Amino acid sequence: MKRKSLFALSAVIVVAAAALVPVLWSGGDNLHNGSAMAATPADQAALIKKGEYLARAGDCIACHTVRGGKQFAGGLPMATPFGTMFTPNITPDDQYGIGKWTQDDFYRAMHTGRSKDGSLLYPGFPFTSYTKVTRADSDAIYAYLRSVAPVNVPSRPHELKFPFNQRNMLIGWRTLFFREGEYKPDPTKSVEWNRGAYLIEGLGHCGMCHTSINAMGGPVSSAAFAGGLIPLQNWYAPSLTSNKEAGLGDWETKDIADLLKNGVSARGAVFGPMAEVVHNSLQYMSDADINAMATYLKTIPQKSEAPETMQLETSEKFGGELLKQGQKIYADNCAKCHAENGLGMPPSFPPLANNQSIQMPSAVNPIRMVLNGGYPPSTEGNPHPYGMPPFAQALSNTEVAAVVTYIRMSWGNHGTAVSPQQVSDLRSAPLD
């Protein structure tokens, strides 16, 4: 799901925290030798299956598995303004994984943000959300992680700059921004609504992307779900509270559920980091849970204004020049799929006219799509998604700025011109 440019301690350290997400068996420390798994008792099978489902809901595999690598073996690099972090091996390997953790250690990490030895976890690991997870669900995830194959590969040390490599600095951050406690159902709401809130605010940790971060790296409480830039991934998570962006006030619950489950709906499709979330996590969730999440999201309070975002714009004169140049580039490269009038050919080729994601104050996402292309996720409900090819090799920074400017300002769209400098900055940014 985006943040302010300073993205400070929380998003920065998306790894060290994860480093402390354990993987254990529900017994003591002495039955796992890191080379062979103990037989799974029959009465543990249901618990392990439940834990696998919940781990999917938490999208644990995304951070702890390198593409093409073994599950949960870690090693995924996270480039941040504070240095590079590497996700840890969280398989039940005694030497390099977390095979010696107990389920109490695991719950403490999830609930309190503290490691097995009591040291503080970095808030890039979403313990501020995971603290809402019940002990029963934590134990189920623990049982599942304990059942995966151990991988005897060391975790790569993080390469953080001083003073961000000093964990004791987190004491102040926790005082300001962390409130420990399991989710408490709202008795005035339905069971379905409460289930959705538990998944969205807890395991799903959706607010980590869709809520802005202040200069200290803490979430802006008054801007919950109001969108923000995600520096680690260089995408913008749109506001879910404003209809000028991705506000859900006029969405049907079914459209929200379809988007979460399939990656596409009558209202649009997901790309970038959200496509990965659907691919790795949401498509595996039950219809009941998806509907519960949609029910909760539908009730998020809507605001008339979108959040302010830093946007590199051009002068009015240069913007006019880009607009004119962009019209020809669009006709040569884009009109075949998206039509000359911008109406596209839904659902395969989405419309660009009156498209909220095109007109948002932040132009990060349309620039990234033109540069790098992308696909919606392949899901059971959308098994053969149509994608967009990359144009980074074919178009210069000015040409990309021109065509994005044209798209944002044509067919009644109310976006603004973008700067070639912003295109240059995103061209050189990591893809994920």
Tokens of 186: 């709202």
- Domains along the chain? 8-158 (no CATH), 316-427 (1.10.760.10)
pLDDT > 60? residue 368: yes
Read off the pLDDT of residues 402-422 as tens digits, 9 standing for 90 and up: 999 999 999 999 888 988 888
* Spatial distance between the Cα atoms of 315 and 125, rounded to a whole number of angstroms: 41
Cis ω for the linkage preceding 361 (within 30 of 0): no
Predicted confidence at residue 308, as pLDDT, reads 54
Residue that wins the pLDDT comparison between 13 and 240: 240
Predicted confidence at residue 365, as pLDDT, reads 87
Average pLDDT, whole number, for the chain?
A: 82
Predicted confidence at residue 296, as pLDDT, reads 93
DSSP 3-state assignment of 391?
A: coil
Predicted confidence at residue 292, as pLDDT, reads 97
Residue 70: band (very low, low, confident or very high) from pLDDT cuts 50, 70, 90: very high
* 225, 207 contact by CB (below 8 A): yes
Read off the pLDDT of residues 88-107 as tens digits, 9 standing for 90 and up: 888 999 998 889 999 999 99
pLDDT > 60? residue 6: no
* 263, 382 contact by CB (below 8 A): yes
Mean pLDDT of 48-75: 92
Read off the pLDDT of residues 262-301 as tens digits, 9 standing for 90 and up: 988 877 788 888 888 999 999 999 999 999 999 999 988 8
Provide the 8-state DSSP code for 345: B
Residue that wins the pLDDT comparison between 214 and 276: 276
* Spatial distance between the Cα atoms of 24 and 402, rounded to a whole number of angstroms: 53
Tokens of 51: 């834990």
Mean pLDDT of 341-367: 86
Q: Which residue has the tokens 């039955």?
A: 31
Predicted confidence at residue 204, as pLDDT, reads 93
Read off the pLDDT of residues 236-264 as tens digits, 9 standing for 90 and up: 777 787 766 666 777 889 999 999 999 88
Mean pLDDT of 110-133: 91
Residue type, 19: A
Lowest mean pLDDT among 23-27, 284-288, 292-296, 323-327: 23-27
Residue 232: which H helix or E strand, with range?
none
Predicted confidence at residue 283, as pLDDT, reads 95
Residue 159 half-sphere exposure toward CB, CA atoms < 13 A: 10
Residue 221: band (very low, low, confident or very high) from pLDDT cuts 50, 70, 90: low
State the Cα torsion 402-403-409-413 to the nearest 10°.
-160
pTM for the whole structure: 0.73
User: By percentage, how much of the chain surpasses pLDDT 90?
Assistant: 43
pLDDT > 60? residue 142: yes
